[in-house]
Amino acid sequence: MKKLSIRVLSVLLAVLMLTSLSVTAFAASADDAAENVTVLFTHDLHSHLLPSKDEDGGEFGGYARLMTVIRAQREKYPDSILVDGGDFSMGSLFQTAYTTSATELRMMGAMGYDATVFGNHEYDYLPAGLASMLNAAAASGDPVPAILNANYLPPAEGEDGYNAELSAALDIYGVKKYTILERGGVYFVLFGITGIDSDKCAPNSGMILEDAATAAAEVVSSAIAECKQTYGADPVVICLSHGGTSDGKGEDYDLAEAVDGIDLIVSGHTHTKLDEPIEVNGTYIVSADEYGKYLGVVRLKKDADGVSLADYELIPVDENVEDDAEISALVESFKNNVEEEYLADYGVGFDEVLVNNTYDFENVDEVKATQHESTLTNIFSDAYKWAVEKATGEKVDMALTAAGVIRDTLPMGPVTTSDVFNAASLGVGTEGELIAIYLTGQDLLNVLEVDASVQPLMSSAQLYCSGVEYSFNTNRMLFNKVDYSALRRDDGTTEQIDPEGMYRVVTGMYCGQMLGEVKSKSFGLLSITPRDEKGNEIAVADLVNYVVRDGDGVPVKEWYAIASYLKEMGGEMDPAYAEPDGRKVVYSSLDPVKLLRNANKFTYILIAVIVVVLAIVIGVPVLIVRSVKKRRAKKAQAK
C-alpha cells in the first residue's frame, strides 16, 4: 500500500512538474511572441544619402551607415518592420534626379523599407514632378516601399484641379490609404496621414486635405475589421504621419487624442527628436530627429491586454558606424548619375571646392533662434542680388531670404558644390528658382516689419536682406518695431524708401509663395502684394512667370547663385563676411524717444487707447467726487 502511494505521488509530482514546465514554456513562448513586435523607423531623411558634418567635427547620417545599423537590428529582430514618416526627398544634390530616377524611393527599396508617407517636400516639383517620380520608380523595376496616403487626396475626375497625369501615376505606383502586412505571426495595419502645416508648406501640391482625425478613424475601423475577417487577427495599428510634434504636443498629439485604436504614430515633419515616446490615449508617438542621424527602434509588447511599450531607443548613425558596401556602391552610382545628367550643365562637380572658408558661420538652429544679423545669410542674400544683376543686367533694389528655407550652414575649410546645395536645397525645380518682382515702398517697409514683428510668432519667418539697412526696437509696439530703414546702395550710400515708389525685389520661389501667409500671421494687419513692373498685382500661382533667366534663357537657381558668388571670390572667403556689417540692428530700449521715433498708425492707435483708458481711470473718480460734493452741498442748503 505504501509502495502504491509512493508511486501515485511520484506520478502526480511528475505530472505537476510537466504541467509547470509546459505552462512556463507557454508563457515564455507568449512573451517571446509579444516581444517580437519591433518597428524600425526614420523620417525627414531629405535626400541625405551621404553623411553630413556636425558642429563638433564629427559626422552623422548617410545611407550606407544607416544600412549597417538596420542590418544589425534585423539580425537581432528578424521579424521587424522598417517604416518612414515622410519628406524622404529634397535636401541634397541627389534630389536633382528626383523626377527622372526616383533616387530616394529606389534607395529606400534597396534598404528594405516597408512603407512611407508623402511629406510636403515630395510636392516641391509640383504635381507633374511627383507624377514623373512615381512613374520612374515604377518603371525601374526595383523594389520600392509602399506609399500610404489616407487624407491628402487628388481631386477626382470632374472636380476642379483634376490632374489625369498625377492620378494615373498614383495608381501605377499603387499609392493607397493603408496596407496590412504580417511578420512572425503578428499582423500590422499601416496607414499614412498628412498634417495641416504640411499642407500649408506645399501650396502647389494640387491635393485636397481631408480632416486627419476623421480619415484616421475611418481607416482604423475598416482596416482592423478587414484584418480580423481575412486573417483572424487583431493587428498592431501604426500611423505614418507627416504632422509633427512640438514641445510634447502638436498635430500628432491631437490626432492620437482624437482617434482610438492607434498603437503607434511615427511622427515626421517637425524634425523632432523624442528621447522617450509621448503616450496619449493608448498611443505611443515616436520621432528620431532628421537626416538619418538616428535609427529609431520601438519594441511593442502585444498580448491579450493590448499593446504596450517594451523598449525604445534611438541608435546614432555617425562616423563610428562602418559603411554597408552594397548600399555604398549604390549611392556612388546615383552620385555619378547626378554629375553626368545635372551638374555637367552648370560646369561644376559634386565635390568641387568653390572657396576656402576660414570663418565659423552659424548653424540653422542659431539662424532661427534669435532676431539678429547673420553673416551666413548675408552671403545668401548678397549672392541672390549679385547673380540676378549679372544675369539680367538690371539693378536689384533688395534681395531677401528666410530662415525657414536655409537647410544647412557653410562649413569651415573647403566649401564644395554639395555643401552649398545642402544649405540651399530648395534650389532645384520651380520652388528653388529666383524670382524678380516689384513691391511698393510701403510693402517693402512691411517686409522689414514682418522680420521685426512676426519672427517671435514664427521663427522661420525671420528675414535676411541685401540692399537695405534697418533697425528695430523689440520693446516697441507690434507692427511698428522698425524705427529706421533705408536702401543701401552698392557704393555704400543710403536712400530713403518712398512708400509710394516701386522697387525691384528678388527672392526664392518658396519665399515668394509664402507672401500670402503674411496677412494671416499678422492678424490681417500687414500685407505684401507682389506686382509686375507696371504695378499690376501678381497672383501667387502666377509667380512661376517671374522666374529670373540668364541670357540663354536658363533659370537662375538659388544654389547656383550662391555657388557662383563663392567661386567669384577667387579661392578665399571674402573678409566682408567675417563680421556682421550693420545692415540689421536689433536692440531693446524703453527710452520714450526711441519708443516713439518714426511711429506709425499702430503706435498712434495704442497711444489713443492709453489716453482713453487714462481718461476713464482718472475722470471717473473725479466725476464721482464732484457728484458726492454736489449732493452734500444740496443737503447743507436744505438744512
Mean pLDDT of 401-411: 91
Whether 2 has a pLDDT exceeding 60, the answer reads no
* Local structure of residue 185 (DSSP, 8 states): T
Predicted TM-score (pTM) of this structure: 0.81
Residue 105 covered by a domain: yes
- The C-alpha atoms of residue 91 and residue 63 are separated, in whole angstroms, by 14
Whether 352 and 489 share a structural domain: yes
What's phi and psi for 549, nearest 5 deg?
-125, 150
Question: Which position has the grid cell 473718480?
Answer: 621
Per-residue pLDDT at 521: 66
Residue 343 covered by a domain: no
Mean pLDDT of 199-218: 95
Residue 397 covered by a domain: yes
Whether 417 and 365 share a structural domain: yes
* Local structure of residue 161 (DSSP, 8 states): T
Number of domains in the chain: 3
Among 210-219, 249-258, 329-338, 426-435, the least confident range: 426-435
Whether 543 and 606 share a structural domain: no
pLDDT by residue (tens digit) across 559-586? 999 999 999 999 999 999 999 999 999 9
Whether 171 and 201 share a structural domain: yes
- The C-alpha atoms of residue 273 and residue 611 are separated, in whole angstroms, by 49
For residue 448, CA distances in Å to 44, 454, 535 come to: 31, 10, 20
Domain of 409: which CATH number?
3.90.780.10
Whether 381 and 282 share a structural domain: no
User: What's at 190, amino acid-wise?
Assistant: L
- The C-alpha atoms of residue 232 and residue 241 are separated, in whole angstroms, by 27
Residue 25 covered by a domain: no
- The C-alpha atoms of residue 371 and residue 464 are separated, in whole angstroms, by 10
Domain ranges, residue 490: 348-590
Per-residue pLDDT at 430: 59
Mean pLDDT of 589-596: 91
Instruction: Render the burial of 475-504: b for 16+ CB within 10 Å, e for the rest.
Output: ebbbbbbbbebebbeeeeeeeebeeebbbb
Whether 569 and 614 share a structural domain: no
Mean pLDDT of 181-199: 96
Q: How confident is the model at residue 604 (pLDDT cuts 50, 70, 90)?
A: low
Per-residue pLDDT at 606: 61
What's phi and psi for 536, nearest 5 deg?
-80, 140
Whether 373 and 482 share a structural domain: yes
Residue 329 covered by a domain: no
Domain of 65: which CATH number?
3.60.21.10
Residue 341 covered by a domain: no
Whether 518 and 445 share a structural domain: yes
Per-residue pLDDT at 36: 73
pLDDT by residue (tens digit) across 24-56? 433 334 444 445 799 999 999 999 999 998 878
Whether 561 and 607 share a structural domain: no
Residue 305 covered by a domain: yes
Whether 247 and 171 share a structural domain: yes
Whether 455 and 374 share a structural domain: yes
Residue 384 covered by a domain: yes
Instruction: Render the burial of 322-346: b for 16+ CB within 10 Å, e for the rest.
Output: ebbeebbebbeebbebbbeebbeee
The three-state DSSP-derived secondary structure of 491-556 is CCCEECCCCCCEEEEEEEHHHHHHHHHHHHHCCCCCCCCCECCCCCECCHHHHHHHECECCCCCEC
Whether 418 and 292 share a structural domain: no
Q: Which residues contact 2 (CB under 8 A, 6 or more apart)?
A: none
Whether 598 has a pLDDT exceeding 60, the answer reads yes
